Amino acid sequence: MRPRRRKQAGPALNRLWSTFFIVLACAVVPLVLVFGVEFIQRGNLHETWAWLIQNPKLFTMNALLDLFVFLLIYALLGNLLPSVALSILLLCSMSFISYFKVKLIGEPFFPWDIFLNKESMNVLPLVTNQSALLRIGTMLGAVFVLLLMSFLLPRLRLRIKTRVAVGLVAVFAVYSFGVNAPWASRFMDRMGANEIVWNQSENYGNNGMALAFTMNVKNAIVPKPAGYDEPTMANLAQMLMMNQSGLQTASAKADPFNGKQPNVIFIMSEAFWDPTLLPNVTFSEDPAPTVHRLQQESTSGYLLSPQFGGGTSNVEYEVLTGQSMSFLPAGSVPYQQYISQPLPSLAGYFEEQGYKSMAIHSYEGWFWNRENVYKEMGFESFMSKDQFSNPQYKGDFISDDEVANSIIQQVDSTDKPMFIYTVTMQNHGPYDDQRYGSNPIQVEGNLTPEAKDTLETYTQGVQDADASLQKLIDHFDETGEPTVIVFYGDHLPMLGYDYDVYTQAGFIQTGKSQDWTLEELKKMHSVPFVTWSNVDLPQEQLPVLSNSFLGAYMLSHMGMQLPETLAYNVELSQKMPGMLRNLVVDANQNLYPAVPDSLKEDVDKYRQLQYDGLFGKQYLAKYIGSPYLQQNVLPNYNQEFVEKAPVDEDIDGSLNASGEENPN
């Protein structure tokens, strides 16, 4: 009987050891994951260790979240070592993405970045340097070793009933923390979690990546503003109609266009900014003579962009709709997430006025979902990269000069007045590729050779953008066809990791955006805009204006009838010309980190108007019979290009992955 007992004791002992190793893995793996993720995220061992020591509760909270992710993967795979490997691959990859996003554009990895399908591939060329490859290689090496060990060591499987139970618990926990269930919210509060929605870099730095990422999941759903209901919107509609009538009466003026409808051309030049603003740098010649001349001769100023270094579509969204990114989750992309039905925009407004509205972008039509969004915004047509016939390239992208030629060709071949919204591509980053071979404009200053090369490449793109603007001015000046041009950048360029060129040149004092003063924050989001017209228009200088107010401002500036919601934008901009999520500029140019009490009521109305049109029940359109608020998709959208055969067959259409804006 003794041999039989020893034989029975063997499996029992093995199960005991298996249970011990599984429990040990569940205790150790989350701790190692938190350390690894935070080390990657912070890029510094000292900062990582300091955060762990100073925030034991937050460290534990992050470990608990990583544990639930690990348990969910373990329940699905049922094998310990492959589950550890996949957990490392998943969480460390997210941390790498967040690290490089912060380095490039100052924003971490958000839950909704997962839905940036092909767009996300455009960050790859920016992270293929030796240091990045070494980090990524180390992670992949660890994953490979674990997978190899899984073939040599016992599999440590879970029983099917245990797997189901563990999986359900993990799903429940992850879901509860993600949607901020009451019990989960109370638990996170006790663990010291403090969400900083308005500054996501600080949010991730203080709370840790796993916790900050989880807290952001609920932010993918935009909450209904307090007080939003039909009676409130009915009262607001009545107020808007009264205010619009008063505004139009007060601003009534002689028609500067003598009854003719001018072409209205908006040109959003990729990453256009004025590098001569860098204080400790000189240039061998003026890189932007046209813009500098227009700043003296015509209406001009600075736009307060919601973006830095990328996210062009969010700037488009603000300009075209008059709505603000400040009311949406940090890092969200309305073109990808929210716009799936007709939305009032400048395109629909000009169509209703008898214009032909066209969008022109010298890159792929699918990028940022533009081909679908422009349709919902009421554009008649969209000319993307595929519709350029044998275009000239500068570097990897269609040149700004080629875009100017397309604008001229479209206006000259159309009998109707045109509203054209143009997005260029030539001067897209990164700028360390020496894309032009040599740069005529030389930069002098206390810069490293790498920073000097980056700045000179960027400056050459600025010069080409400026020259393309002058080309348009010369053409319409010669033809005399009434035309208004609005030219501006979408955001400041990303000039090296950690705002390298900006700090070396003394434009800002630190490469850590969470440490910027309000004045530095304003500078890093202020892009120049200039206007030109061959008709005499009033000249004004605007020290700051949010992108969301630009469309309304220009309609008013040209003496055009404003829809009710855009009339409110004009009214609000006179009290608060600038608004970002973490910066407000009032009429006296005072800076605030949040909306001051004196402006909260006005901003709340602005928020309700936006929510009603984008997410709500469109009560406003019910009470205001404005065609602007009741826009529909045009039945002939893009028909002129859809019916044409593909062109540009001699040009290699496969651009490298440096693509368009970095995802954020």
Q: How far is CA 279 from CA 9, 245, 444, 502, 526, in A?
A: 79, 46, 11, 9, 16
Cα(269)–Cα(462) distance, rounded to whole angstroms?
9
Band of pLDDT at residue 585, cut at 50, 70 and 90: very high
pLDDT at residue 654 greater than cutoff 90: no
> Maximum distance among all alpha carbons in the chain?
112
DSSP reduced 3-state for 215: helix
Q: How far is CA 514 from CA 106, 107, 493, 509, 522, in A?
A: 9, 11, 18, 12, 13
- Looking from the CA of 599 toward its CB, the CA atoms found within 13 Å total 23
> In this predicted model, what pLDDT tens digit does every residue of 325-361 receive, in sequence order?
999 987 788 987 889 899 999 999 999 999 999 999 9
Band of pLDDT at residue 147, cut at 50, 70 and 90: confident
- Reading the block at residue 121, the tokens are 């591939």
> In this predicted model, what pLDDT tens digit does every residue of 79-110 receive, in sequence order?
888 898 999 999 998 898 888 877 766 678 88
The domains found in the chain, sorted by start residue, are: 11-220 (no CATH), 252-570+602-630 (3.40.720.10)
- Residue corresponding to tokens 């509860």: 176
pLDDT at residue 301 greater than cutoff 50: yes
Determine which of 61-65, 128-132, 459-463, 537-541 has the lowest per-residue pLDDT on average. 128-132
DSSP 210: H
Mean pLDDT of 255-278: 93
Buried/exposed code over 235-244 (b: 16+ C-beta within 10 A; e: otherwise): ebbeebbeeb
DSSP 653: -
pLDDT at residue 128 greater than cutoff 90: no
Interstrand relation of 263-269 and 483-489 (parallel, antiparallel or unpaired): parallel
- Residue corresponding to tokens 């080390």: 39
pLDDT: which is higher, 476 or 141:
476
pLDDT at residue 180 greater than cutoff 90: no
| pLDDT of the residue at 649 | 38
Dihedral Cα 464, 470, 473, 478, nearest 10 deg? -120
* β-sheet bridge partners, residue 359: 382, 421
Band of pLDDT at residue 427, cut at 50, 70 and 90: very high
**Hey, which of 104-118, 324-338, 567-581 has the most confident mean pLDDT?**
567-581
Cβ-based neighbour number of residue 393 at 10 Å? 16
Q: How far is CA 341 from CA 35, 60, 523, in A?
A: 44, 43, 35
Across all residues in the chain, what is the average pLDDT? 87
DSSP reduced 3-state for 133: helix
Cα(281)–Cα(51) distance, rounded to whole angstroms?
37
Mean pLDDT of 535-539: 91
Mean pLDDT of 537-542: 94
Of residues 290, 287, 293, 292, the one with CA closest to residue 441:
287
pLDDT at residue 11 greater than cutoff 70: no
Q: Which residues contact 443 (CB under 8 A, 6 or more apart)?
A: 281, 282, 283, 284, 452, 455, 456, 459
pLDDT: which is higher, 383 or 625:
383
Cα(18)–Cα(580) distance, rounded to whole angstroms?
55
Q: Which residues contact 405 (CB under 8 A, 6 or more apart)?
A: none
Listing DSSP states for 282-303 in one string gives EESS-S-HHHHHHHHHSSEEEE
230-250 helix and 597-614 helix, angle to the nearest 10 degrees: 110
Phi, psi torsion values for 346, nearest 5 degrees = -60, -35
Mean pLDDT of 535-559: 95
Q: Are 69 and 174 in contact, with CB atoms under 8 Å apart?
A: yes
DSSP alpha helices (H): ranges in 112-196?
130-152, 160-178, 182-190
Mean pLDDT of 455-473: 97
pTM of the model: 0.77
Listing DSSP states for 42-103 in one string gives H--HHHHHHHHHH-HHHHHHHHHHHHHHHHHHHHHH--HHHHHHHHHHHHHHHHHHHHHHHH
State what percent of residues in the chain have pLDDT above 90.
62
